[in-house]
Amino acid sequence: MIKATYRKYLLNFRNPSGTSRGILRTKETWFIILQEKGKKGIGETGFFRGLSIDDVSNYEEKLLWVCNNIHLGLEELLSKFIEFPSIQFGIEQAFLSLKSENPFELFPSQFTEGNKAIPINGLVWMGEKEFMKKQIKEKLVSGFSCIKMKIGAINFDSEIALLQSIRREFSSKEIELRVDANGAFNSKNALEKLHRLSALEIHSIEQPIQQGQVQEMAELCAKTPLPIALDEELIGVFSSEEKKQLLATIQPQFIILKPSLIGGFAGSLEWVKLASQNNCKWWITSALESNIGLNAIAQFTETLQNNLPQGLGTGSLFTNNFSSPLEVNRGTLCYNPKQSWNFNL
């Protein structure tokens, strides 16, 4: 018989990290731990305060209910927690982990054997111009050929100047530039800003306007001079019919899949299938999970064989992350099987 418990853990940022929603200093997360016949299964419910659709006051009660009813099994628990995508993700991981010979190897592959790396983007956080400039230089020196810059917090002209400084040194063939507005633009000024960004050969922009403005976003996607990627727009869209309707209406060029926020592996696979039916490309991004969740997302990503740079370089952001075989090397995420895990809660 499976025994289930849960634990809360507070991740501390190495440097306060800026987004258009404010400065992040800590990140709360939770773990579901299963035990059966001497084996252990671990799953991270990548809860994101202020962003997750399941950011509710009784979240902990829901985790307790899952643990008390773990005998229901994976499929029934997933169906009962459709409106709690982070819990779905934690349950999926925990059951896969319990079944695996190695609790940290959910999807054995060339990646987990250390023979294949996943290309990733280097993330540049918002902040003062000099701070952002410093991060950009560090990413370039580290060997990243794809940089993602969060914009929308400082003066837009300053952000354009930073991007121009990269383009003066590196063409779009040498460095791919992505930007993430986190909904910082409004529907009146978004198109003009997209034209200014387009002149710099930007690969794509994530969520230029706030989620929920479906017709405005559809209009932007129809007129945009550079590809638009939906991110927050996918959060809280639960049924297959709603997902189909959203993609058919907006017709985005890309969607970005964050398993913690859209229903784990099953939710992500459904979006991938619908995207392919709508001539829409995609990539996967972590949502500031610890190395436990990041590891699960990376291994899952490898199974999908998507060659675009993924958003999986967040493991080094925290001072108290769990040591793991995950390593970032020359713009890729690697798995070093010689390194061991240290997960003690």
Tens place of pLDDT per residue across the chain (345 aa): 999 999 999 999 988 776 656 778 899 999 999 999 999 999 999 888 888 999 999 999 999 999 999 999 999 999 999 999 999 999 999 999 999 999 999 999 999 999 999 999 998 887 777 888 888 889 989 999 999 988 887 789 999 998 998 898 889 999 999 999 989 999 999 999 999 999 999 999 999 999 999 999 999 999 999 999 999 999 999 999 999 999 999 999 999 999 999 999 999 999 999 999 999 999 999 999 999 999 999 999 999 999 999 999 888 889 999 999 999 999 999 999 999 999 987
Would you identify the CATH topology of the domain 3-99? Enolase-like; domain 1 (3.30.390)
Handedness of CA 266, 271, 272, 277 (dihedral sign): positive
**Residue 150 annotated to the active site:** yes
Give the list of residues 6+ apart from residue 65 with CB closer than 8 angstroms, or none. none
Hey, where are the domains in the chain? 3-99, 118-335
Instruction: Considering the candidates 139, 148, 150, 243, report the single residue annotated as catalytic.
Output: 150
Nearest Cα to Cα of residue 196 among 182, 183, 210, 185: 185
Superfamily of domain 118-335: Enolase-like C-terminal domain (3.20.20.120)
53 vs 88: CA distance, rounded Å: 12
Q: Which amino acid is at 191?
A: L
**Residue 139 annotated to the active site:** no
Q: Which amino acid is at 103?
A: P
Q: How far apart are the first and last CA of the chain?
A: 22
Contact 4, 70 (CB under 8 A): yes
Place of tokens 């895990």: 341
**pTM value?**
0.95
